[in-house]
Amino acid sequence: MVVTRFAPSPTGYLHIGGLRTALYSYLWARKCGGKFLLRIEDTDLKRNSKEAADAIVEAFKWVGLSHDEEIYYQSLRFDIYKKYVQQLLDEGKAYYCYMSTQEKEELYEKQKANKERTRYDGRYRDFNGTPPAGVEPVVRIKAPLSGEISFVDGVKGEVKFNVQDLLDDFVIARADGTPLYNFVVTIDDALMGVTDVIRGDDHLSNTPKQMVIYEALGFKIPKFYHVPMILNPQGKKLSKRDGAMDVMEYKKMGYLPEALLNFLIRLGWSHGDQEIFSLSEMQEFFDPNDINKSASAYNAQKLEWINTQYIKSLPTKRLIDVLKEYGTDLSEFEKAEDLVNLLKDRAKDMNEFSLMASSILNTPKEYDEQAVTKFLNKESLELLSAYNEVLKASGDLISTQDFEIKAKELLEMQGKKLKDLAQPIRIAMVGNAVSPSVFDVLSVVGYKNVIQRIDNLLDRSK
Ligand code: GLU
């Protein structure tokens, strides 16, 4: 069974690069009928925070990628890691190293002076004398001393590391007994049965170290997929200004999670020239072996475009739910579906959608000065008033056509044009001269409220 995981470190928020690898991992597990795990890598007690971990989980909920099993927290698993450190010590595959900080500095200075790579020199590898007093030892693993470590990466193909260039007997547990990053990642991936590790290629140089640990413990090495970074349009590292921000900022900006996921899947993967994918299509088509080898570029306009496509095409009920999160509660509103359908082709993002929806839902409290000056005068107010009298006399009107027919009859009688009436109606309905088709708006606002809103404006203009 394929098991994947997303393993963020809560040093900050969930950012889009992380969300993309999470999405890839999620899709692959779901496609294969496997499992997708969420593991919070919070062993660095100085740099991690509970708030950041909670924020990541919240962002994860927002995008709707469900994970299997409970959320794992590495900070609750120290006993497990200790056991494996001890096992390696017992088997002679790891050892205590008593090199003091001063000795280490001296060693590195010497290596630098000789233009060598700074690395541990193995001085305690075979030590069995009396440990020096006053030094709490770290635990180092016996890494290969020469040769190559290689593996076939699902994205990059064959990757080779020369041991001399990269490895030394690296530390797996600090002097206070706490385990180090590469060690815990490996233990957890192995114990959780992770078969496919999909992660950013900033982790590529960790992989040979992790392979040393897998081998020392006799664990099966998973398949790795190292995904190239997302760059800005200039080909540089993505900065906050370019879009490298907390995933929840995208929510604040009015992006739908569906749109964000669709945007992210295409950053680094494609399926012909298709741009819009439902989640089930993503699952059907995605394969991590098809991830692009080269880095992808962030494109803000494309994200906006995808967002508008999703706003247009999402089921009305879903949009009604989302609007609530943006402050417009349509749950009690009889014509909620009509209202949403009226606006969904016009909204650029959910903030705008919510503003437009609430301006139709609620009686205007104030009127846009410019629109008032431009469109309201004695004549247009008289026409508006005449229309209201027609409505009052007509009895309940419901459909767009009902309102339209009454208006046309009146305009014909008075020899006026639709534009003479449409803008004053808009101002009465939503407080400004911008709205969807005016009779659609009237139908959604509803007969009684229409009359009331026109009266409000007329009263105010007396
Ligand atoms: N915790 C690591 C990070 O947040 C990811 C580890 C991994 O995917 O192997 O960058």
**Edge-to-edge, what's the strand order for the sheet holding 35-40?**
3-6, 35-40, 72-73
Residue 221 lies in a domain: yes
Q: How far is the CA of 119 from the centre of ligand 1 (A)?
A: 24
Q: Check: CB of residue 17 under 8 Å from CB of residue 244.
A: yes
Let me know whether 84 and 217 are in one domain.
Answer: yes
Domain boundary among 287, 316, 345: 316
How would you class 111 by CB atoms within 10 Å of its CB: exposed for 0-12, middle for 13-18, buried for 19 or more? middle
Q: Which of 11, 15, 38, 41 to mutate to test the pocket of ligand 1 (most atoms within 8 A of CB)?
A: 41
Measured CA to CA, the distance from residue 44 to residue 371 in angstroms comes to 58
CA-based nearest residue to 397, from 458, 451, 437: 451
Q: Which residues contact 450 (CB under 8 A, 6 or more apart)?
A: 391, 403, 429, 442
Of all atoms in ligand 1, which is nearest to the CA of residue 200? 8
- Token reading at 236: 């540089």
Of all atoms in ligand 1, which is nearest to the CA of residue 5? 8
Give the pLDDT of the chain (462 residues) as one tens digit per residue: 999 999 999 988 899 999 999 999 999 999 999 999 999 999 887 888 899 999 999 999 999 999 999 999 999 999 999 999 999 999 999 999 999 999 999 999 999 999 999 999 999 999 999 999 989 999 999 999 999 999 999 999 999 999 999 999 999 999 999 999 999 999 999 999 999 999 999 999 999 999 999 999 999 999 999 999 999 988 898 888 887 789 999 999 999 999 999 999 999 999 999 999 999 999 999 999 999 999 999 999 999 999 999 999 999 999 999 999 999 999 999 999 999 999 999 999 999 999 999 999 999 999 999 999 999 999 999 999 999 999 999 999 899 999 999 999 999 999 999 999 999 999 999 999 999 999 999 999 999 999 999 999 999 988
Let me know whether 440 and 299 are in one domain.
Answer: no
Of all atoms in ligand 1, which is nearest to the CA of residue 41? 1
- HEC secondary structure over 419-442: HHHHHHHHHHHHCCCCCCCHHHHH
Residue 448 lies in a domain: yes
Domain at 358, CATH number = 1.10.10.350
Let me know whether 221 and 258 are in one domain.
Answer: no
Let me know whether 194 and 103 are in one domain.
Answer: yes
Let me know whether 194 and 143 are in one domain.
Answer: yes
Let me know whether 341 and 402 are in one domain.
Answer: yes
Q: How far is the CA of 182 from the centre of ligand 1 (A)?
A: 10
Residue 309 lies in a domain: yes
Task: For 223, list phi and psi in degrees, rounded to 5.
Answer: -85, 135
Q: How far is the CA of 8 from the centre of ligand 1 (A)?
A: 5
Q: What is the pLDDT of residue 218?
A: 97
Ligand 1 surroundings by CB, under 6 angstroms: 7-9, 41, 185, 199, 203
Let me know whether 438 and 302 are in one domain.
Answer: no
Domain with 111, as residue range(s), is 78-227
Q: What is the pLDDT of residue 129?
A: 92
Let me know whether 187 and 149 are in one domain.
Answer: yes
Q: How far is the CA of 273 from the centre of ligand 1 (A)?
A: 31
Q: How far is the CA of 95 from the centre of ligand 1 (A)?
A: 26
Residue 380 lies in a domain: yes
Measured CA to CA, the distance from residue 366 to residue 20 in angstroms comes to 44
Which helix (H) or strand (E) covers residue 230, if one does? Answer: strand 230-231
Let me know whether 308 and 394 are in one domain.
Answer: no
Let me know whether 309 and 438 are in one domain.
Answer: no
Of all atoms in ligand 1, which is nearest to the CA of residue 202? 10
Q: Which of 9, 56, 155 to mutate to test the pocket of ligand 1 (most atoms within 8 A of CB)?
A: 9
Q: How far is the CA of 377 from the centre of ligand 1 (A)?
A: 65
3-class secondary structure, 182: helix
Let me know whether 370 and 449 are in one domain.
Answer: yes
Of all atoms in ligand 1, which is nearest to the CA of residue 189? 9
Of all atoms in ligand 1, which is nearest to the CA of residue 181? 1
Measured CA to CA, the distance from residue 223 to residue 287 in angstroms comes to 13
Residue 282 lies in a domain: yes
Domain at 135, CATH number = 3.40.50.620
- Dihedral sign for Cα atoms in the order 268, 269, 273, 278: negative
Domain boundary among 184, 199, 227: 227
Residue 72 lies in a domain: no
Let me know whether 156 and 212 are in one domain.
Answer: yes
Q: How far is the CA of 5 from the centre of ligand 1 (A)?
A: 10
Q: Give the DSSP letter of residue 268.
A: T
Nearest residue (CA) to ligand 1, atom 6: 7
- Token reading at 62: 């927002």
Residue 114 lies in a domain: yes
Measured CA to CA, the distance from residue 462 to residue 456 in angstroms comes to 10
Of all atoms in ligand 1, which is nearest to the CA of residue 11? 4
3-class secondary structure, 386: helix
Domain at 270, CATH number = 1.10.1160.10
Q: How far is the CA of 199 from the centre of ligand 1 (A)?
A: 7
Domain boundary among 282, 316, 350: 316
Q: Give this prediction's pTM.
A: 0.92
Q: What is the pLDDT of residue 241?
A: 81
Residue 384 lies in a domain: yes
Total domains, the chain: 3
CA-based nearest residue to 444, from 374, 339, 359: 339
